[in-house]
Chains A and B, each alone.
Chain A
Amino acid sequence: MFILRFLARRLGQGAIIIFLVSALIFTLLRVVPGDPVRLMVGGMAPDTLVEEIAAEMGLRDPIHVQFGRYMGKVLQGDLGESFVRPASGAAVGGASFDDSTRGERAKVLDLIAETAPMTLQLAVLAMVFALMIGVPIGVWGGLYPGRLPDRLALYTSSLFVSLPNFWLGIVLALLLSVKLNLLPAIGYRGFSYTILPALVLAVEIAPFIIRTLTVSVAGVMGQSFIDIAKVRGLSRNQIVFRHALKNSAVPLLNLLGVQFSMLLGGVLVIEFIFDYPGLGLLTINAVMQRDFPLIQGIAIVTAAVFVLINIAVDLLATAIDPRLDY
């Protein structure tokens, strides 16, 4: 009952957020220069044809009319069709302009559904790596504030932060893939192709985890219930693993929520470098091709994921710390 009311409220707020994001993206796309129809039909096509097609597609109607029509479809679960991509896959170039192919353009939802699992896989693996690196270092640093482990944590995270991700990606690809031939790097033909980009992402995320954990663990270790636990007879392990870690988890959880949302939204640079067929690559291509419906679709899905992850994080946080009233 309580949970249901919370969910109803948060989902309602989420719907408003998604609506606003859609409206913003929709308007921006139509205000910025660059005519998608010109790109679709190719530079050689006559202006009259461009206008004709544009009018036929409804692109010359007032923006609010277009938006209303679009949202109406979205509500029925239809994110529209790509301007550019045929159902088969590769983008349709302007030169191959041919009116008859327009019926076979790919559904935006299908395009997203194909790539999203790839990004999800990458994001989850990156998170796992980041936690494997960040949690031990961060907790250790937090247990000994001002001492060697704390400084090690600081050095490690400074080092990680100072590595630019595209540079690290290229270096790792050269080292592990080209020189040592341990891991494949470019494209995707199986799970092993996820490991390298995930590692690069993990190095990017780990400093945040380390920093958040050192601060929150050190803060919790300074609280009186931890001090008193000693005289109550609890062992050091019980104090650290049952109490200190649980109490430091909420800031970490919030951080993970934000990071995970960002990962799922598509990791543009990394997917581009490794030519990894995820949402990020899809987004880059969609933007370059002025593929309005696809860009809008990705924005809506990303916003929805963001909302859902936030709700999940808050639910988990209250499960960990019941004082956090929603």
Chain B
Amino acid sequence: MALDTTGATETLLSVRGLGVAAGDKPILTDISFDLAPCSILSVIGESGSGKTVLARALASWLSAPLRVTGGEIRFRGRDLVADPGHARSLAGREIAYVGGNPAGALDPTMTVGAQLVEKLRAVRPDIPAAEARAKAIRLLEAVHIPSAARRFHEYPFQYSGGMMQRAMIVDALISDPALLIADNITQPLDVTVAAQILKLMRELNHDFSTAILFICSSLPVACDASDEVMVLHEGRVVERQTPAALVARPGHSYTRELIAELPTLWQGGETGAGREIDRNRRAIMSVRGLAKAYEVRARGQAGVSRVQAVRNVDFDVFPGDNFGVVGESGCGKSSLMRLLTGLERPDAGSVFFEGENVAAASPKRLRALRRKFQLVLQDPYGCLPPQSPIGAILEEPLKIHRIGSAAERRDRARAVMAEVGLSDSLYRALPTGLSAGQRQRLNVARAMILEPRLLIMDETLSALDQTEQGKLLDLFDKLQAQHGFTYIFISHDLTMVRQVCSRIAVMYLGETVEVAPNERLFFDPGHPYSRALLSAAPTLEERRYRPEDCLLEGEPPSPIDLPPGCAFASRCPQAFDRCRAENPALRARGDHALAACFLNPDPDIALHETATETPHA
């Protein structure tokens, strides 16, 4: 689309027979492709297929043991492999690179602005400092950093992840490069922020005529972002097509599988909506008016500020439910999890587990209760003791609760290992050798060895790729059928939640803004924020909610010292006067669906009176 007349005649980047190896092991083999000026080419492939290595090779940024074994990378006709000096002179000037981890990308001791200026003047020494500064601020504005002139003087740690990623895009574009290599830039971001970044990238491609090599691991994102998609599989280019053609007629078996397995939001497929749950029974977990604030000392301010991590959280989880809690980073999901499991005590409200208030239980009683609800944590690498064998890790909870003899404990551990699909030979192995998926299975095994009734999964699957996620979800299903578990899934991934959850709570800035059954949330959401999340979710389907109408600008405001009124009002496309004065409570919309938004018709009585009271501030 963006091929102009001069650009169409010559290619900007032309790769021929490129090979890269790590020592003797080939990583990339015979990579050949062309990139026209001003076009966007997506590269997708599974984890380990060599996408990052390709990006680094193109940026002449390979470090030992990686090395180019053959082929050429012609940039405007000159081979960068043969002429490293020339390649170095292009780095950061003509060829810019943005990576997937903006957090550590800039010097923490210098302001973002100073580093943008430094970089521009490093590659373009002829530009005077004042001009560089003006350009940096202009670009920060172009990527929608609020009050850019002030943010220019702030340090990297004062930027949120999304802002930092935008600053890195500015850093890459500030020298007007002809080629931008973007490696997984939306990976660490929340869906609404990622959607903004993608939109921004297209605008920049248009405004600055930069060709973009867009590397990513999600097919929907790749298709959304680009003119053409190139598929990498085991270090080889297996196909290259326009997004529409790729989805309609995938040529390679890997692509076909990828498309076939792709979970959907609206077009049928497997969903968690089908299950029949009796919602007139007593709830297994019932949360009312939960609130928790943390005190933080803010820089340059007198006294302490209160971060309202969790406010007005209300929901019920029924036996056999798969309950989902979704929301963006920082919305209080993990704080909520700590409150649910009694790891922390709330400032207000209650958490009833089978009729008993966890929030008020004595420490001794809490220990006993914890046997019945178990936590499976987020980080597959952080939470396993590396020095103890897998069998011992599994038996530890039994020991703590003084259950069974040593022999019984061993049998129990082996049985659970078999159930989660860990082979018996791993009993004496250390967890260090396990893959991410196996680690997650081990975590699940450890949680279920005490035969709990409720399992709380905090981002349990987010570190796994699509295929491995699917396998674990099947496992969860099987375990549920066998043991009658109830699950609470805490996740930022709408697609996953759509697949497995029967009932879903949407959180924004510590509040549950909507609690609804699966179908209802995806087809008739009752809160503008839910619609925004749906509009931003990566999918190949025709969207029910168009980003143009629903997508948010900016990021959630800081949970410190929130303004009165609806917390969403600052970003809500439909906000009106009342929203800024009064905080809407969760109100029933029929069929067990609740939403906290004034746009919903007033029911006769507010269902949860407790939710209307603001917790003591």
**Residues of chain A having any CB pair with chain B under 8 Å:** 2, 5, 223-225, 227-235, 238, 242-243, 246-247, 320-323, 325
Contact = CB atoms under 8 A, between A and B. Distances in A.
B93 A233 contact: yes
A32 B108 CA distance: 52
B104 A224 contact: yes
B90 to A, nearest CB: 9
A233 B92 contact: yes
A321 B61 contact: no
Contacts of B106: 225
Contacts of A243: 107, 110
Contact of B109 (A231, A234, A321, A325): A321
B119 interface: yes
15 contacts: A2-B300, A5-B302, A224-B101, A231-B59, A231-B97, A232-B91, A232-B96, A233-B91, A233-B93, A233-B123, A234-B92, A246-B109, A322-B157, A323-B109, A325-B299
B155 A234 contact: no
A232 B171 contact: yes
A223 B104 contact: yes
A234 B122 contact: yes
Contacts of A234: 92, 118-119, 122
B99 interface: yes
B107 A231 contact: no
Contact of A247 (B61, B101, B107, B172): B107
B175 interface: yes
Contacts of A225: 104-108
A164 B118 CA distance: 47
A232 B119 contact: yes
A242 B96 CA distance: 21
A233 B119 contact: yes
Question: Which A-B residue pairs are the 8 nearest by beta carbons?
Answer: A233-B92, A224-B104, A233-B123, A231-B61, A232-B92, A231-B97, A321-B109, A243-B107
Contacts of B97: 228, 231-232
B297 interface: yes
Contacts of A323: 108-109, 155, 157
Contact of A235 (B61, B122, B172): B122
A242 B105 contact: no
A141 B112 CA distance: 29
A242 B118 CA distance: 10
B164 to A, nearest CB: 11
Interface secondary structure of A, over-half rule:
helix
Given A230-B61, A233-B119, A321-B109, 20 more contacts: A224-B104, A228-B97, A228-B99, A228-B105, A229-B107, A230-B91, A231-B61, A232-B97, A232-B119, A234-B122, A242-B107, A242-B118, A243-B110, A246-B110, A320-B109, A321-B108, A322-B109, A323-B108, A323-B157, A325-B299
Nearest to B91: A233
Contacts of B59: 231
Interface string B424-456: 000000000000000000000000000000000
Interface in B114-144: 118-119, 122-123
Interface residues of B, number: 30
Contacts of A223: 104
Contact of A233 (B99, B175, B299, B300): B175
Contacts of B110: 243, 246
Nearest to A243: B107
B161 to A, nearest CB: 14
A54 B477 CA distance: 90
B297 A325 contact: yes
Contacts of B297: 325
Contact of B108 (A229, A238, A247): A247
Query: Which of A224, A230, A231, A234 is most buried by chain B, counting CB atoms within 10 A of its CB?
Result: A231
Interface in B288-308: 297, 299-300, 302
A238 B117 CA distance: 13
B104 A238 contact: no
A322 B155 CA distance: 8
B180 to A, nearest CB: 12
B587 to A, nearest CB: 42
Nearest to A322: B155
Nearest to B55: A231
Nearest to B155: A322
Contacts of B92: 231-234
Contact of B122 (A228, A238, A322): A238
Nearest to A323: B157
Contacts of A233: 91-93, 119, 122-123, 175
Nearest to B105: A228
Nearest to A246: B109
Contacts of A228: 97, 99, 105
A5 to B, nearest CB: 8
B337 to A, nearest CB: 27
Nearest to A223: B104
B122 A231 contact: no
A230 B91 CA distance: 8
Given A247-B109, A323-B157, A231 B91 contact: yes
A320 B110 CA distance: 9
B177 to A, nearest CB: 10
Nearest to A226: B107
Given A233-B91, A233-B92, A323-B155, A224 B105 contact: yes
A36 B606 CA distance: 85
B503 to A, nearest CB: 41
Nearest to B181: A231
Nearest to A249: B109
A189 B526 CA distance: 88
Nearest to B59: A231
B237 to A, nearest CB: 23
B56 to A, nearest CB: 8
A231 B57 CA distance: 11
Contacts of A247: 107-109
A233 B59 CA distance: 11
B253 to A, nearest CB: 34
A321 B109 CA distance: 5
Contacts of B108: 225, 247, 321, 323
Nearest to B90: A233
A247 B63 CA distance: 23
A325 B157 CA distance: 12
Most buried by B among A230, A235, A246, A247: A230
A325 B297 CA distance: 10
Nearest to A1: B300
Contacts of B93: 233
A223 B105 CA distance: 9
Contacts of A232: 91-92, 96-97, 119, 122, 171-172
A322 B97 CA distance: 27
Contacts of A322: 109, 155, 157
A231 B55 CA distance: 11
A231 B63 CA distance: 12
Contacts of B107: 225, 229, 242-243, 246-247
Contacts of A231: 59, 61, 91-92, 97
Contacts of A246: 107, 109-110
A84 B595 CA distance: 86
A224 B118 CA distance: 18
Nearest to B172: A232
Nearest to A224: B104
B425 to A, nearest CB: 36
B85 to A, nearest CB: 13
A224 B105 CA distance: 6
A233 B124 CA distance: 10
A325 B119 CA distance: 27
Contacts of B175: 233
Contacts of B172: 232
A246 to B, nearest CB: 5
Interface string B211-240: 000000000000000000000000000000
A239 to B, nearest CB: 10
A4 to B, nearest CB: 12
Interface string B396-407: 000000000000
